[in-house]
C-alpha cells in the first residue's frame, strides 16, 4: 500500500519531510502518526490507514510533491489470527543473535511496556468527575513545561567551530520571510502606542478566576479581555478590520480574529471565528484548543485562514515594547506587552499600578491616524473599565 504526500491546500504543491515518527521496518497500527510534513503554511502529520510494516522511501529533510509516494505499508496476512505483541518480536530477534532463554529476555520488556502503558493511561484513570476541559488543561500545562525546557535548551551557548554551519530554511520559515517582506514593502505601515492600567482586569481575575475555572473548566486569561476589547473597538471603527482588494475596500461580515501562537516551527496565527458572538468562556476555550493544535502540529489551513485582525502577545517572552508587523491582507495588528508596576499619577497623587504598553500597527492606506488612535483608546477604555461596556452604560 503506497503512502503519498497529501494535498493540504489548493496553493500548496510540495512539502518537506520534517521527521519520521516511526522507524523503517516498524510495525504500525491503523491511525498511528507516521511522519510530519512541513509546508509553507502549516505542519501536519500523515497517519497509517491500516496495520502493517512501514518501509520508508524518502529521507527526512527531502522535498516531495503532492501525490508523490513517500513510503509503503506492507499489509499483514489476512488469515492471521492475532498480531503478535511487539515484545515477542523483539525477543525473537534477540534470540537469533544472543541465544538467551525467552523467559529471561521477555520479562524486562514486558515490565517496561507495562510501565509505559501505565504512564500513558494514568491521566485517563483519574476520577470520573474530571471534565474534558480539565483534561485539555492538563495536556496544555504539560506542553508548556516541555516548551519551557526546549526554550531553555535553545538558550545554551552555540557550539562554534572552524567552519560556518548551514541549515536549510523550512517551508514555513520561507513563507514567514516572504510574508514579512511583503508586509514591509507592500503596505504603508505605521505604529501608534498607548499604555493601559491593568488593575481592574487583574482584580477580576483574582476575585473570579477560581469560580470561572470551576464553572467553565478553563482559566480566565488576559487574552479574552483583549479579544472582547478589540471586538468592541472594531464595531465602532470598522476600517481597522477592512482590507484592500484592487480598487475596493472590503469590510468583513464577521469578526474573525487571529491570535499569534509561538511554535517550534515559527509563529502561527490561528483564527477565532465570529468572535463577536462568543462569551469569555468560549473565547478562552477556543484559544486553548487552537494553541494545542498549533503546538502539536495538528493545525489545518481552515484554522489559519480568513482573519480580519491579529492580536499578538510579546509580553509572555518579557517584551516591554515592540512594533508588530502586519499580517497581510489585514490592515491592523495589536501588540500586547509585559505588565510592569510603574508610578502613575492618580488624582494628583503618585501610585504604583500594573501597566502594559500597547502597540497598534496599521496600514495607513486604509486607516487614518485619527481612526488608529481612537481604536487604541477604545481598547484601553474597555480594559480599564470593562463593566461600562458590558453593561452598555
Cα dihedral 330, 302, 146, 58 sign: negative
DSSP class of 25 = T
Catalytic, 364? Answer yes
Half-sphere exposure of 141 (CA within 13 A, CB side): 9
**Is 195 in contact with 358 (CB distance < 8 Å)?**
yes
Catalytic, 55? Answer no
**Is 249 in contact with 371 (CB distance < 8 Å)?**
no
**Is 12 in contact with 44 (CB distance < 8 Å)?**
no
The values of phi and psi at residue 168, to 5°, are -65, 145
Cα–Cα distance list, 144 to 243, 263, 375 (Å): 35, 11, 33
CA dist 241 and 330 (Å) reads 7
Annotated catalytic residue: which of 2, 55, 184, 368? Answer: 368
Cα–Cα distance list, 37 to 8, 70, 376 (Å): 10, 11, 39
Q: What is the CA radius of gyration of the chain?
A: 26
- At 159, is the secondary structure helix, strand, or coil? coil
Residue 63's Cβ-count burial label (10 Å; 0-12, 13-18, 19+) is: middle
The catalytic site residues sit at 364, 368
Amino acid at each position: 500500500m503506497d503512502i503519498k504526500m497529501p494535498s493540504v491546500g489548493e496553493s500548496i504543491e510540495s512539502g518537506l519531510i520534517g521527521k519520521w515518527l516511526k522507524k523503517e521496518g516498524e510495525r504500525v497500527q491503523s491511525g498511528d502518526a507516521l511522519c510530519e510534513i512541513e509546508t509553507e503554511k502549516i505542519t501536519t502529520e500523515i497517519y497509517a490507514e491500516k496495520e502493517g510494516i512501514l518501509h520508508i522511501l524518502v529521507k527526512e529533510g527531502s522535498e516531495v510533491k503532492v501525490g508523490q509516494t513517500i513510503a509503503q505499508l506492507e499489509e499483514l496476512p489476512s488469515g492471521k489470527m492475532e498480531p503478535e505483541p511487539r515484545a515477542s518480536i523483539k525477543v525473537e530477534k534477540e534470540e537469533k543473535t544472543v541465544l538467551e532463554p525467552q523467559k529471561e529476555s521477555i520479562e524486562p520488556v514486558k515490565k517496561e511496556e507495562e510501565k509505559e502503558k501505565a504512564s500513558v493511561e494514568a491521566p485517563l484513570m483519574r476520577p470520573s468527575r474530571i471534565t474534558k476541559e480539565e483534561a485539555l488543561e492538563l495536556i496544555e500545562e504539560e506542553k508548556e513545561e516541555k516548551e519551557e525546557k526546549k526554550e531553555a535548551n535553545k538558550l545554551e551557548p552555540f557550539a562554534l567551530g572552524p567552519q560556518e554551519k548551514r541549515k536549510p530554511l523550512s517551508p514555513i520559515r520561507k513563507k514567514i520571510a516572504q510574508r514579512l517582506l511583503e508586509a514591509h514593502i507592500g503596505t504603508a505601515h505605521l505604529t501608534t502606542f498607548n499604555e493601559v492600567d491593568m488593575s481592574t482586569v487583574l482584580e477580576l481575575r483574582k476575585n473570579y478566576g477560581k469560580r470561572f475555572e470551576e464553572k467553565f473548566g478553563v482559566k480566565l486569561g488576559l487574552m479574552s479581555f483583549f479579544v472582547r476589547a478589540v471586538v468592541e473597538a472594531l464595531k465602532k471603527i470598522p476600517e481597522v478590520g477592512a482590507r484592500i482588494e484592487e480598487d475596493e475596500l472590503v469590510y468583513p461580515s464577521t469578526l474573525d480574529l487571529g491570535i499569534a501562537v509561538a511554535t517550534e516551527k515559527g509563529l502561527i496565527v490561528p483564527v477565532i471565528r465570529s468572535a463577536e458572538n462568543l462569551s469569555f468562556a468560549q473565547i478562552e476555550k477556543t484559544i486553548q484548543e487552537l494553541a494545542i493544535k498549533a503546538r502539536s502540529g495538528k493545525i489545518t489551513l481552515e484554522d489559519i485562514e480568513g482573519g480580519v485582525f491579529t492580536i499578538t502577545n510579546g509580553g509572555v517572552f518579557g517584551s516591554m515594547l515592540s512594533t508588530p508587523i502586519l499580517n497581510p491582507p489585514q490592515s491592523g495588528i495589536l501588540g500586547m506587552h509585559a505588565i510592569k508596576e510603574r508610578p502613575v499619577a492618580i488624582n494628583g497623587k503618585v501610585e504604583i499600578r500594573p501597566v502594559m504598553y500597547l502597540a497598534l500597527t496599521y496600514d495607513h492606506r486604509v486607516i487614518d491616524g485619527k481612526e488608529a488612535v481612537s481604536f487604541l483608546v477604545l481598547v484601553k477604555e474597555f480594559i480599564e473599565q470593562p463593566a461600562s461596556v458590558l453593561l452598555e452604560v
